[in-house]
Amino acid sequence: MNTPPPPPASQRSVRVAALAVALGLLVTGCSAFGGQSESDAGSAGKAGSGGRIRIAMVTHGAKGDAFWDLVKKGAAEAAAKDDVDLTYTSDPDGSGQAELVRDAIREKVDGIAVTLAKPQAMRGPIAQAKSADIPVVGLNSGTDSWRPDGLLEFFGQDESVAGRAVGDKLNGLDAKHALCVIHERGNVGLEARCAGVKKTFGGQTENLYVEGTDPTATSAAMTAKLRQDPSIDEVVTNGAQFALLAVKAVQAAGSRAGVATFDLNKDLVKAVQSGDVQFAVDQQPYLQGYLAVDGLWLYRTNGNISGGGVSPVLTGPAFVTKANVASVARFADGGTR
């Protein structure tokens, strides 16, 4: 595959500007990029001659997605606690995300937190960050990639393990034919989840690829598939918003299929409470964002490495069902689950 040419300087300037002001949307009172980087972990707390440590978080999350709002909120609250200058930027396109990481390197930040949904696109910029003595940690996506790619730490869920747990759960529900809905092609985490379901589920598992950025098209594709194959008795989605679309698709198709999902948000909690969704797998995105920022701060100020650089720090999977959803609901109402 040919590597696309770098964007013109004007576009890079816009990205750098966006990177520098992003935190203003998240944390009041934290200026962006206020100081110089310090590469020595033992003295990094002195970044910028008394200035704050500067951390950039660059994810593949789509704008306006409730899941990524939770990641950002956790990161922002850790930054406020640690007195860190934090910027958050995102691009679902692998090459776009890679360029945002390069922007952060050019700004000489003190640490970078990245997601590895498309790890091949991130290998180059991660290597550049390491060459510049900028520590990089992973979060959310990249359980199988963070160590080979040389990241310092990883905070997230083992997606294959989570998928296998869902397969076991479906066996307990006596399901026979599961449809696993993948809303982003090329996302290794989503593929690993559905592959994990297939490994342990005793019935038939098939994947349905949809255009996740188009809710109308996604709903129509699920409805059509359910009408075409009435033997499908379980729909498994990879995001809370897609589970809510699946509930409507089941109704529109006249299907009797149950709905389960990976990931959680406030509206999904209500769907579990009502019984419209059987269960959700919570990987705790707020915690992922929080730990990624806090982990970099601990490394820069005290040389700590969570997991020893060998093991990931797992934030899931945790099942949320009608039996235990009440204990989660109050945190969801507060915007942290």
Phi first, then psi, for residue 48 (nearest 5°) are 70, 35
Report mean pLDDT in 10-residue bins for the chain, 337 residues: 48 44 39 32 41 95 89 98 98 96 98 97 97 98 95 97 98 98 94 98 98 96 98 97 98 98 95 98 97 98 96 96 95 91
CATH number at residue 311: 3.40.50.2300
Same domain, 130 and 188: no
CA distances from 120 to 84, 123, 140, 214, 286 (A): 29, 6, 16, 26, 26
For residue 272, the model assigns a pLDDT of: 98
Residue 137 lies in a domain: yes
In the sheet that holds 136-140, the strands lie side by side as: 85-90, 54-59, 111-114, 136-140, 154-157, 313-316
What's the total number of domains in the chain?
Answer: 2
9-21 vs 94-106: helix axis angle to the nearest 10?
80
For residue 44, the model assigns a pLDDT of: 40
For residue 50, the model assigns a pLDDT of: 54
Same domain, 33 and 14: yes
- The DSSP element (H or E) to which 161 belongs, if any, is helix 159-172
Same domain, 91 and 224: no
Determine the structural domain holding residue 230 and report its residue range: 159-283+321-333
Dist CA 199 CA 220 (whole Å): 28
Same domain, 64 and 188: no
Same domain, 78 and 26: yes
Q: Report residue 145 CA to chain centroid gap.
A: 14
Instruction: Give which of 161, 172, 231, 227 is closest to 199, Cα–Cα.
Output: 161
Same domain, 150 and 14: yes
Helix (H, G, I), strand (E, B) or coil at 30: coil
For residue 83, the model assigns a pLDDT of: 97
Same domain, 91 and 222: no
Residue 125, both tokens: 């910029």
This prediction has a pTM of 0.81
